[in-house]
């Protein structure tokens, strides 16, 4: 079974590596080549690159990385993705023969219109669509699109290892406590996060089961979230899309 490693980059990004016992590794969202090249100097060997979306903190290191390791690179069919990437889309399958595994490609628009997620070997690389205890901002998509994308990710098996690309968990947790005040599972997750961060460890990865139990953006149908939104809006949300839109708009302005 491959092991997963989070390489810190910039202020709060993670570049993910899924590596086999021999050091062969899939690299996900290398916004900066330097951490990956440093890992390669210590024995890891990039064999493929996966790109979830076009933002610079996810693709900025691609050209420098491929100059050192000219391996297959896969990303969305979007002109803003580096030219070296092979374009893939929803329903495609990306094989990684060096690791004996592959990834199913899922279209998850919302944060950007062409955002992809990659699911394989029990791992989900979801870019900026799903965060632990949160979700991405809607820079290009609609609330309905993002809700559908999150619903799709939430339907994956509960033991799926969720590899988000930013260390936002503690901040997201402060909002989650406001959105759903009574959630013991969420409080336990935040205690775990606090302990991990105190040890200098990432709060990630998480699991889909944990996110379904704790993340308010995956819980827009739960009575506790709906009650909070009703109090905030002055009326009960008319449907789950309105509930999600209100939750995301609230988070955009949240200063807790």
The count of residues in the chain is 256
Catalytic residue among 53, 54, 115, 123: 53
Please provide residue 99's backbone torsions phi and psi, each rounded to the nearest 5 degrees.
Answer: -110, -5
53 is known as an active-site residue: yes
Catalytic residue among 29, 54, 55, 119: 55
Nearest-angstrom CA–CA distance, 28 and 60: 12
Q: Which CA distances in Å does 166 have to 20, 29, 97, 214?
A: 24, 11, 28, 17
Catalytic residue among 115, 119, 123, 166: 166
**Do 206 and 132 form a contact (C-beta atoms < 8 A)?**
yes
166 is known as an active-site residue: yes
Catalytic residue among 29, 54, 58, 119: 58
Q: Which CA distances in Å does 153 have to 4, 105, 115?
A: 19, 12, 13
Q: DSSP label at 160?
A: P
115 is known as an active-site residue: no
Catalytic residue among 29, 32, 54, 111: 111
**Do 166 and 135 form a contact (C-beta atoms < 8 A)?**
no
**Do 15 and 7 form a contact (C-beta atoms < 8 A)?**
yes
Q: Are strands 123-125 and 161-163 parallel, antiparallel or unpaired?
A: parallel
> What residues does 135 pair with on adjacent strands?
130
Write down the residue that tokens 């060096």 correspond to. 98
93 is known as an active-site residue: no
Angle at 203 between CA 255 and CA 146, to 5 degrees: 60
Closest CA to 247 of 214, 230, 255: 230
Catalytic residue among 29, 54, 57, 119: 57
What token pair was written down for 165? Answer: 């690309």
> What residues does 27 pair with on adjacent strands?
17, 49
32 is known as an active-site residue: no
Residues serving a catalytic function are 53, 55, 57-58, 111, 128, 166
């Amino acid at each position: 079974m491959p092991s997963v490693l989070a390489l810190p980059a910039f202020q709060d990004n993670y570049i993910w590596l899924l590596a086999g016992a021999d050091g062969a590794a899939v690299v996900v969202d290398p916004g900066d080549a330097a951490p990956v090249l440093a890992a390669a100097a210590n024995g890891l060997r990039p064999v493929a690159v996966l790109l979830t979306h076009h933002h610079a903190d996810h693709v900025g290191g691609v050209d420098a990385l491929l100059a050192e390791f000219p391996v297959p690179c896969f990303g969305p069919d979007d002109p803003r993705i580096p030219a070296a990437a092979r374009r893939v889309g929803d329903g495609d399958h990306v094989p990684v023969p060096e690791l004996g595994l592959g990834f199913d490609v899922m279209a998850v628009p919302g944060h950007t219109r062409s955002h992809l997620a990659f699911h394989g070997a029990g791992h989900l690389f979801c870019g900026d669509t799903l965060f632990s205890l949160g979700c991405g901002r809607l820079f290009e998509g609609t609330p309905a699109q993002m809700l559908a994308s999150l619903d799709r990710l939430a339907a994956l098996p509960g033991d799926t290892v969720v590899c988000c690309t930013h260390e936002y968990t503690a901040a997201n947790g402060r909002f989650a406590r406001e959105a759903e005040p009574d959630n013991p599972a969420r409080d336990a997750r935040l205690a775990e996060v606090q302990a991990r961060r105190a040890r200098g460890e990432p709060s990630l990865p998480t699991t889909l089961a944990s996110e379904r139990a704790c993340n308010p953006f995956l819980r827009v149908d739960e009575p506790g979230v709906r009650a909070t939104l009703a109090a905030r809006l002055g009326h009960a949300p008319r449907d789950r899309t309105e509930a999600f839109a209100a939750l995301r708009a609230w988070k955009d302005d949240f200063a807790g």
